[in-house]
Amino acid sequence: MRTSALLALEDGSVFHGESIGATGHSVGEVVFNTAMTGYQEILTDPSYSHQMVTLTYPHIGNVGSNPEDSESESVHPSGLIIRELSPVMSSWRGKQSLEAYLNEQGVIAIADIDTRRLTRLLRDKGSMKGC
């Protein structure tokens, strides 16, 4: 069973969702990525270090994860924010689900967030810290 989670931005905006990653809290600059694929590459891209990455594509996790798709040895963002975690992993290359990967790597992540609203907010108000 997943637990409730929230994302609070420095302007006072609050988004409620569910924790899908490691237990804990995280702080960082909230950014977004509009790619439709490549979430594992995004998670292991050092350029996202200390940032909380919002993936705007609504369904994330459908191909799972595997060692071949990593850009580096570790996860760099301080958190992951998504709309919907795919309930099914369907790829011949997938070795584990995204949720299992997030937990194994100790990544704080939140799902069931209105990522369109969050992205518009960041676009209109500019960069913000979140936790």
Q: Give the chain's domains with CATH numbers.
A: 4-130 (3.50.30.20)
pLDDT of residue 94: 65
d(CA 125, CA 72): 32
Region 57-74 average pLDDT: 78
CB 63 within 8 A of CB 89: yes
Say if strands 84-85 and 59-60 run parallel, antiparallel, or are unpaired. Answer: parallel
Those residues with Cβ within 8 angstroms of residue 106's Cβ, 6 or more apart along the chain or in another chain: 21, 22, 75
- Mean pLDDT across the chain: 91
Q: Is the pLDDT of residue 39 over 90?
A: no
